[in-house]
Amino acid sequence: MASVTLSSTPQADGFSMPAEWQPHKQTWMIWPERTDNWRLGAKLAQNAFCNVAKAIAEFEPVTIGVSARQYENAAAHLAEYPAIRIVEISNNDAWMRDTGPTFVRNAAGKVRGIDWVFNAWGGLQGGLYFPWDQDDLVARKVLQIEGIDRYRADIILEGGAIHVDGEGTLLTTEYCLLNSNRNPELTKEQIEERMREYLGIEKVLWLPRGIVDDETDEHIDNVACFIAPGEVLLAWTDDSSDPQYAHSVAALEYLSQQTDAQGRPIKVHKLPVPGPLYMTAEEAAGVDPIDATQPRREGNRLAGSYINFLFCNGGIVMPAFDDPMDSVAKEIIQSLCPDHRVIQVPGREILLGGGNIHCITQQQPIDNWLSKTA
């Protein structure tokens, strides 16, 4: 089945983005390899990504896009996991949340994909690498592989910059979406309008800031997410001397005064942050200091957060950091989502590259779901 490029918008066609906890057909990932982001030839990151893929595969199929150069290596790592498929996709790095499509669905359960313009988190004004031309083709290739029709959006956006509740509300951060290195020609109102047109939402909730030193310009998917309609999980610290405190307090104060698209007051659940966590000298020395514009140095604060997890079919895959807060965060999420089995996977190697489990994954909703379950 071919993938057609559409000239309309999802909203005009009756499509909207489902909540992440709605049923998935599969989850997509990209195999990590660039040695100026992933230390020691990306070997440790490859193991970490494999562990994430295996954890997700306990709940649903996984497809991993791999460059031609790494195809055999990835296939050998994952040969014994029939729920994990390897396909060849060229890329500039391994952040499927941001380079993959955002899927939308209509009332009949038909699925389409949005292919956002990607500029490596800021282009030549603070972006994280150049070029990013292969990353900008990833969403299109995923949709072609699946035979899913595509909307090419006229806006620069990464999937990690948005969360939705599936009932009309979108959550984002001003620091990222209003940053002059993304869409400087658009006003806040025009960006909201684009979100309505592409994601079929009705209301945008704007947190001012995200996680301190998050090199994505503070994506929402590292600081807060919907855990249910009307309920937001927020990264939190009680340490008022930590710069994260002001970010989290501002988010809490804002959300406490907001209602969602259905008119419900937002209920906020606090989720402790780990650490603070910092890059060690050994970790920094393992990264090749070549192309990436973000140098890795001993003492860099890492943007660690347990918010950066993925809902799967019946499960949640979340990071652990060998930190006292690991078990606390897991218990909070498990108690809020009793119908999901929460699995923790080591997240530090992924964090060293600048993100975590949500950033390296993209869920594809099941198609014709309503007719199949009717």
Residues in contact with ligand KQY by CB under 6 A are 37, 95, 97-98, 128, 160, 215-216, 219, 294, 353-355, 359
DSSP state, 68?
T
Contact 121, 99 (CB under 8 A): no
Nearest to ligand KQY of 9, 70 (CB atom): 70
Contact 271, 233 (CB under 8 A): yes
Residue from 222, 121, 217 nearest 171 by CA: 222
Nearest to ligand KQY of 200, 304 (CB atom): 304
Nearest to ligand KQY of 62, 128 (CB atom): 128
Nearest to ligand KQY of 66, 96 (CB atom): 96
Nearest to ligand KQY of 54, 97 (CB atom): 97
Contact 273, 213 (CB under 8 A): no
Residue from 302, 337, 314 nearest 222 by CA: 302
Task: Please provide the DSSP assignment of 184-220 as one string.
Answer: TTS-HHHHHHHHHHHH--SEEEEES--STT-TTTS-G
Per DSSP, what are the bridge partners of residue 311?
316
Structure tokens at 231: 């309920």
User: CB 256 → ligand KQY: shortest distance, Å?
Assistant: 27
In whole angstroms, what is the distance from residue 364 CA to residue 168 CA?
19
User: CB 93 → ligand KQY: shortest distance, Å?
Assistant: 6
Per DSSP, what are the bridge partners of residue 26?
364
User: CB 223 → ligand KQY: shortest distance, Å?
Assistant: 11
Catalytic-labelled residue, pool 50, 225, 312, 359: 359
Nearest to ligand KQY of 203, 219 (CB atom): 219
Who contacts 72 (Cβ-Cβ below 8 Å, separation ≥6)? none
User: CB 287 → ligand KQY: shortest distance, Å?
Assistant: 10
Structure tokens at 343: 């699995």
User: CB 98 → ligand KQY: shortest distance, Å?
Assistant: 5
User: CB 355 → ligand KQY: shortest distance, Å?
Assistant: 2
Contact 166, 19 (CB under 8 A): yes
Who contacts 102 (Cβ-Cβ below 8 Å, separation ≥6)? 17, 113, 114, 116, 159, 162, 198, 199, 362
Check if 359 is active-site: yes
Structure tokens at 128: 């994280």
How many other C-beta atoms can be found within 10 angstroms of the C-beta atom of residue 51? 18
The residue sitting closest to ligand KQY, measured at its beta carbon, is 355
Contact 62, 83 (CB under 8 A): yes
User: CB 374 → ligand KQY: shortest distance, Å?
Assistant: 36
In whole angstroms, what is the distance from residue 139 CA to residue 118 CA?
10
Nearest to ligand KQY of 10, 353 (CB atom): 353
Contact 321, 273 (CB under 8 A): no
As annotated, the active-site residues are 359
